[in-house]
């Protein structure tokens, strides 16, 4: 078996959830890595869209931000931000929104705004950007993040991006017709919402991970599916693709700092 890190397993497991037919609104960071691994392996036809208005982006290195020139240079076309949000996103043309999170609760509500009280936060985070709109207007949402009791909490400090609210049919009661979060991939497990309660439930443990590992890095009592599977380990192609992408990115960003 190939040797791999938990972070590599997380990125590759997330990439596998994407398909050739997806039109994916990509978040910077871990979501970007997963989406580009998918594009470079099993889903070459995927359409990657970034918040700055780039459509059909095929970056050779991972972008530092949505303003990274790599996105515009490799896109099929670039549209204005208002067109991106009004026509593409709010028009229902995005099949999957792929987000990260600083804090998340069991119902997939995301905080990327502040840690602590809003008026006197312990930490002020980057903010929502387009994520709140992505969370409600994309047909479905994938989330990826590393597990920790700081990040996976009983109650988030601020609702930046709405998931399933208080659970159940909360989205529908608010008139939100899209599916919301349907997948959470962490460095330890794959989670999907319970069909009725919408609470995220572990459906697959990554190789070598125990239920105790998952619980000790999660701030709520973890629920498990009736049949919990083991996530298939990364293939040689998946690992090589991800590592080559990360190496190219590191070289490019190091060169940029030195120029």
Once rounded to an integer, what is the mean pLDDT over residues 61-80? 89
* b/e map 167-197, b = 16+ CB within 10 Å: beebbeeeebeeebbbbbbbbbbbbbbbeee
Asked, for residue 51, whether it belongs to a domain, the answer is yes
Which residue has 């999170």 as its token pair? 101
Segment (H or E) for 247: helix 236-258
Asked, for residue 106, whether it belongs to a domain, the answer is yes
Asked, for residue 37, whether it belongs to a domain, the answer is yes
CB 133 within 8 A of CB 87: no
Asked, for residue 98, whether it belongs to a domain, the answer is yes
Segment (H or E) for 213: helix 211-216
Instruction: Categorize the per-residue pLDDT at 257 as very low, low, confident or very high, splitting at 50, 70 and 90.
Output: low
CATH number of the domain to which 40 belongs: 3.40.1080.10
Catalytic residues: 51
Range of the domain at 245: 6-258
CB 237 within 8 A of CB 41: yes
Asked, for residue 115, whether it belongs to a domain, the answer is yes
For 62-82, give the DSSP string: --SSTT-HHHHHHSSEE--HH
Asked, for residue 1, whether it belongs to a domain, the answer is no
Question: CA 36: distance to chain centroid?
Answer: 12
Asked, for residue 141, whether it belongs to a domain, the answer is yes
Candidate from 66-75, 133-142, 169-178, 218-227 with smallest mean pLDDT: 66-75
- What percent of the chain has a predicted confidence (pLDDT) above 70? 98
CB 72 within 8 A of CB 54: yes
For residue 227, give every residue at least 6 positions away whose Cβ sits within 8 Å of its Cβ, in sequence order, or none.
none
pLDDT at 258: 45
C-alpha angle 184-185-186 in degrees, rounded to nearest 5:
120
The pLDDT tens digits of the residues spanning 135-193 come to 999 999 999 999 999 999 999 999 999 999 999 999 999 999 999 999 999 999 999 99
pLDDT value at 2 more than 80: no
Instruction: Categorize the per-residue pLDDT at 25 as very low, low, confident or very high, splitting at 50, 70 and 90.
Output: very high
Instruction: Categorize the per-residue pLDDT at 259 as very low, low, confident or very high, splitting at 50, 70 and 90.
Output: very low
CA distance 142 to 38: 14
The pLDDT tens digits of the residues spanning 46-67 come to 999 998 899 999 999 998 887 7
* Total of domains in the chain: 1
CA distance 192 to 183: 5
Helix axes 236-258, 6-16, angle to 10 degrees: 110
Q: Between these two residues, 28 and 106, which has the higher pLDDT value? A: 106
The pLDDT tens digits of the residues spanning 204-213 come to 999 999 999 9
């Amino acid at each position: 078996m190939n040797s791999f890190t938990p972070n590599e397993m997380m990125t590759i497991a997330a990439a596998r959830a994407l398909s050739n037919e997806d039109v994916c609104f990509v978040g910077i960071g871990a979501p970007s890595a997963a989406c580009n691994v998918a594009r470079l392996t099993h889903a070459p036809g995927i359409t990657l869209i970034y918040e700055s208005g780039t459509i059909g982006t095929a970056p050779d290195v991972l972008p530092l931000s949505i303003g990274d020139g790599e996105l515009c240079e490799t896109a099929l076309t670039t549209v204005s931000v208002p067109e991106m949000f009004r026509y593409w996103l709010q028009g229902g043309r995005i099949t999957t929104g792929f987000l990260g999170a600083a804090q998340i609760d069991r119902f997939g509500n995301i905080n990327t705004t502040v840690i602590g009280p809003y008026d006197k936060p312990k930490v002020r985070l980057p903010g929502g950007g387009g994520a709140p709109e992505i969370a409600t207007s994309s047909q479905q949402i994938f989330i990826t993040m590393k597990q920790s009791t700081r990040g996976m909490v009983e109650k988030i400090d601020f609702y930046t991006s709405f998931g399933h609210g208080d659970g159940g049919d909360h989205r529908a009661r608010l008139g939100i017709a899209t599916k919301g979060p349907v997948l959470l991939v962490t460095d330890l497990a794959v989670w999907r919402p319970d069909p009725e309660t919408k609470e995220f439930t572990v459906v697959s443990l990554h190789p070598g991970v125990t239920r105790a590992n998952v619980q000790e890095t999660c701030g709520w009592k973890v629920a498990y599916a009736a049949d919990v599977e083991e996530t298939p380990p990364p293939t040689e192609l998946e690992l090589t693709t991800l590592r080559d992408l990360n190496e190219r990115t590191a070289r490019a960003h190091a060169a940029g700092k030195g120029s």
